[in-house]
Amino acid sequence: MSQQNASMPGLRVVTVEHFIAGPFCTQLLGDQGADVIRVESPAGSNRGGYFPTLNRNKRSIVVDLKSEKGLETLHALIKTADVFVTNLGAGVPARLGFDYDRLSQINPRLVYAHITGFGQDSPYRDIPAFDGVIQAMSGLMDLTGEPDGAPMLSGVFVPDHLTGLWAALAVNNALLKRHNTGHGSYIDLSMLDCLMSFHATGFSEVLKEGKTLTRIGSRVRGSYASTYRASDGYVYLAPLTARMWQGVARVIGKPELLDYMGETPESDDRLQHRDMLDALIEGWTSKHTVSDVVEQMRAVGVASSAVHTMDEVVADPHLEVRNMLRTVPDLSGEGEFPVPGSPIPSLDETFSKKPPRLGEHTEEILAELGLAPAGAAGQRDG
């Protein structure tokens, strides 16, 4: 499947970024055709771990932002930029001389996105924040895990990636606003806000209904869906409709399940008898293989799935059909590094360009700015 419909060719994104949230945002922009330039310190950053998955098709320039000459180079680069993204801590850009007030004077059309843990005016503004801190403070960790177990982190870095998504959306919105007004803007993005926005009914359940939300394991809060043991693994069943519930009753041979569904939402008593009903369902699933359970449930229209291991995920034919298993050249340029594809149309060639070596494009970018390489980035010669 070709994914050639990119929306940002000719757009220049300059970024001072680290870890995940900032790089994921700019990677999304790069996949749409933006020219993403990483401004990096002479000390560099760890090129292992997540780096290859978040920095394909970017360019790297080494600039000592603590030097006057280096700051001048950054300012020259900002004059050519459409977007600036940073996820350095609150106050750090101002201290180093590249806060929004400073850069917007250089380039009034600049869209400036600053990603921090809590936002510029939060009472927690100066507290260090990583993904796990946000999971803990947002309530996500307390809501994850078994009812009688300890709070648990999610299996992937949800706040980091979610914040990167919100940031890319915010940048797109700001670029549309600039198209209409001619003016740039400042985006103050908080990781905690981004995760809070996914609480859905949680706020009203606590504040309006007086509920205490607790961990419910692999069940779904407020809906009849859950995970059940099979003889060789686990399955997830979501019989949310009357037709699906009838299908479950038929497959497991327990017509008494229908007594708890009722004919209207108000007469649906399944959640009140969940332990008993789940025991009846698992009494059947536990005697059958995962594939048998899923096959029989899907045959009668019940939403269901095996609980896949990552070994099974990477072998799923869906990935190939949907172009969601891609590779990028590794840092050596001699091998390949498997990465997730893009769920939205993106430039295929972005996956053919490896993540940059530290400072790989310094001279190239300086030449584009009309600056002499020696000393322009604030580095000592030799």
Q: Are 288 and 282 in contact (CB under 8 A)?
A: no
What is the distance between the alpha carbons of residues 235 and 173, in angstroms, rounded to a whole number? 40
What is the distance between the alpha carbons of residues 2 and 42, in angstroms, rounded to a whole number? 38
Residue 35, pLDDT score = 97
Mean pLDDT value across residues 60-69? 95
Amino acid at 266: E
The two tokens of residue 174 are: 């700001």
Residue 289, pLDDT score = 98
HSE-CB for 146 with a 13 A CA cutoff? 3
DSSP letters spanning 252-267: HT-GGGGGGT-SSGGG
Q: Are 268 and 244 in contact (CB under 8 A)?
A: no
The two tokens of residue 29 are: 């922009």
Q: What is the pLDDT of residues 226-260, one digit of tens each?
A: 999 999 999 999 999 999 999 999 999 999 999 99
Is the predicted pLDDT of residue 194 greater than 50, yes or no? yes
Q: How confident is the model at residue 331 (pLDDT cuts 50, 70, 90)?
A: confident
The two tokens of residue 248 are: 């479950």
Residue 77, pLDDT score = 97
Residue entry with tokens 């419910």: 216
All domains of the chain in start order, with CATH? 12-198+319-369 (3.40.50.10540), 226-312 (3.30.1540.10)
What is the distance between the alpha carbons of residues 95 and 250, in angstroms, rounded to a whole number? 67
Residue 263, pLDDT score = 76
Q: Are 30 and 12 in contact (CB under 8 A)?
A: no
What is the distance between the alpha carbons of residues 192 and 229, in angstroms, rounded to a whole number? 35
For CA atoms 117, 31, 16, 114, give the dihedral sign. negative
185: enclosing H helix or E strand: strand 185-190
Dihedral pair phi/psi, residue 259, rounded to 5°: -65, -20
Residue 334, pLDDT score = 83
Strands laid side by side in the 226-230 sheet: 226-230, 233-238, 303-306
| Average pLDDT across the chain, whole number | 94
Q: Under DSSP, is residue 172 helix (H, G, I), strand (E, B) or coil?
A: helix
